[in-house]
């Protein structure tokens, strides 16, 4: 039995390292990048009075509206599925030579990214099959459902805090440029600098956006008002009404666009061997 299990594990590892699978997984970074660019554009328009959803659903709607848009949506689903599975394979088979003190953190990070990309693949597939739910309403409904559960408010506080802390981690990674360790940077000095600048701006802006989303979840829980929890779209619209909110919203929109361009570059530069 042990031999059979080892054979299955070796076959799974070989499949996860195959050239075709890695190429499909790299495409997942590019798809994620395209979505971030579209969300960034929507956020900038939002700063000047537009009312479109500044979330993945709004970006998917824009993508679907393009020529052969639904084919692109299905391709996005497949690419994100491949990247999600590749990240899970890293949890199972990767980081064997990593120092013990960093191995667990790397595996947890890969697991988190795997979950994110698998969820994104599911979102693409659901959208392609005709599911057009309002992202803000869905977030509010989910918040209300959790709030009504035993210990639900405590769980929501933990979720909100977790999202906010994730935002802080993103911003810190941008400021410290630690994301560069995952890349094989170009030989050209100009391209290296451009990639790092995109990463810094993108990680900081995404960190701010995630922090705002987490803060809204916490506020909704403390006030016992699920309608306050409206995801990224609600967070950005709430920011717009604050003093200097328009400028902050433009920064976040441009930053999310930079993060998207960085993800597109990462599809080529990420260390995945």
Cβ partners under 8 Å of residue 169, min gap 6: 207
When pLDDT is cut at 50, 70 and 90, the band that residue 264 belongs to is: very high
pLDDT in tens, 219-232: 777 776 665 555 66
Cα torsion angle, 257, 259, 261, 263, sign: negative
Q: Whole-angstrom Cα distance, residue 162 to residue 150?
A: 20
pLDDT in tens, 147-193: 777 777 788 888 888 889 999 999 999 999 998 888 888 888 888 89
Q: Give the highest mean pLDDT range of 9-13, 49-53, 209-213.
A: 209-213
At 7 the pLDDT is: 45
Structural domain count of the chain? 1
Angle CA(30)–CA(35)–CA(39) in degrees, nearest 5?
145
At 55 the pLDDT is: 63
Looking at per-residue pLDDT, the higher value among 268 and 243 belongs to 268
At 188 the pLDDT is: 87
When pLDDT is cut at 50, 70 and 90, the band that residue 130 belongs to is: confident
Cβ partners under 8 Å of residue 32, min gap 6: 80, 83, 117, 120, 260, 263
Which residues share a beta bridge with 183? 270
Instruction: Give the residue among 271, 272, 246, 258 at the shortest CA–CA distance from 33.
Output: 258
When pLDDT is cut at 50, 70 and 90, the band that residue 90 belongs to is: confident
- Which range of residues forms the domain containing residue 147? 2-269
At 9 the pLDDT is: 46
Q: Is the pTM of this model over 0.85?
A: no
């Amino acid at each position: 039995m042990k031999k059979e299990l080892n054979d299955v594990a070796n076959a799974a590892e070989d499949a996860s390292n195959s050239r075709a699978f890695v190429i499909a997984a790299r495409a997942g970074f590019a798809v994620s990048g395209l979505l971030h660019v579209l969300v960034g554009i929507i956020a900038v328009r939002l700063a000047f009075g537009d009312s479109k959803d500044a979330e993945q659903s709004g970006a998917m709607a824009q993508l679907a509206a393009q020529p052969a848009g639904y084919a692109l949506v299905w391709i996005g689903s497949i690419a994100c599925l491949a990247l999600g599975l590749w990240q899970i394979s890293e949890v199972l088979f990767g980081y064997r030579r990593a120092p013990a003190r960093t191995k667990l953190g790397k595996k947890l990070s890969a697991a988190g990214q795997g979950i994110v990309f698998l969820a994104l693949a599911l979102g693409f597939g659901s959208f392609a099959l005709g599911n057009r739910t309002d992202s803000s309403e869905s977030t509010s409904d989910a918040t209300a459902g959790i709030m009504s559960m035993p210990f639900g408010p405590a769980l929501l506080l933990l979720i909100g805090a977790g999202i906010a802390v994730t935002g802080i981690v993103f911003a810190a990674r941008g400021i410290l440029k630690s994301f560069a360790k995952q890349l094989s940077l170009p030989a050209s000095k100009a391209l290296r600098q451009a990639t790092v600048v995109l990463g810094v701006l993108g990680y900081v802006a995404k960190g701010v956006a995630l922090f705002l989303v987490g803060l809204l979840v916490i506020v909704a829980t403390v006030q016992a008002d699920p309608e306050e929890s409206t995801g990224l779209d609600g967070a950005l619209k709430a920011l717009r009404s604050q003093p200097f909110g328009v400028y902050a919203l433009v920064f976040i929109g441009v930053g999310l666009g930079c993060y998207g361009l960085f993800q597109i570059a990462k599809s080529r530069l990420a260390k995945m061997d």
